[in-house]
Amino acid sequence: MNVLVINGHPNLDKSFANAEILKLLAQRCDWQIAHAADFAGDIKAEQQRLLDAELVVVQFPLYWSTFPSVMKEWIDDVFTYGFAFGPEGSQLKGKKLLFSITAGATAESYSESGFNFMPLECYQRAFEHAFKAAEMNIIDTVVTFEMNAIPEEGGDVDKTISLAHQHVDQIINAVNAHIG
C-alpha cells in the first residue's frame, strides 16, 4: 500500500502530539512520511510523490483554526496550474485523501458560543479548499481535541501521548478501510 503522509507541523522538536503521531506511524506502517517544512523547492518531485501515492494523509496541528503557514506554502508551491487545477483538469482527480488533525482546544470550543466562535466544519471548508479544487476524494477527517501538552497552558503530556496513540489507531483504521 503506497500511502504518503504530508506533515504540516513547522517544528517537530517543539511538538508532543504531532511528533508522537509521526513516530508511531513510522513504527507501525511502511508509509512514506514527508515534511512540508523540509520542502526544498523541487516541485516536480513533490508532485510525483502525490501521483505515486494510493492515498495521501495530510497531518497537521490546528493553528488558529487552520493549518500552519508551512503547509499553506507547500500547497501554494506544489498545487500548480496544470497539475492540481486548470482547464485540462487535475492530475490528482479522484486521489484519496485523509485529513489527520490535532487540536489543543476542546471540541466544545468550536461552537458559536465557544472560544473559536464557529463549529470546526466552518474552518474545515477553508483548509479543504485546495484539495477539493484539485478534485481529490476526501475520504475522512480524523480530529483529536485536547492534545495540549504545555503545562503552562493547562496541558498534560501523558494525556497528549495517550491521545496520540488513539489518534494513530483511528488513522490506520480509516486508511485500511479505504485501501484494498
Q: What is the pLDDT of residue 48?
A: 97
Domain ranges of the chain: 3-7+18-34+44-177
The per-residue pLDDT for 127 is: 84
DSSP E strands, 92-135: 96-102
Residues 37 and 121 sit within 8 Å (Cβ to Cβ)? no
CATH architecture of structural domain 3-7+18-34+44-177: 3-Layer(aba) Sandwich (3.40)
pLDDT for 158 equals 85
Say how many residues make up the chain: 180
Residues of the chain with pLDDT under 50: none
Q: Which helix (H) or strand (E) holds 55?
A: strand 55-61
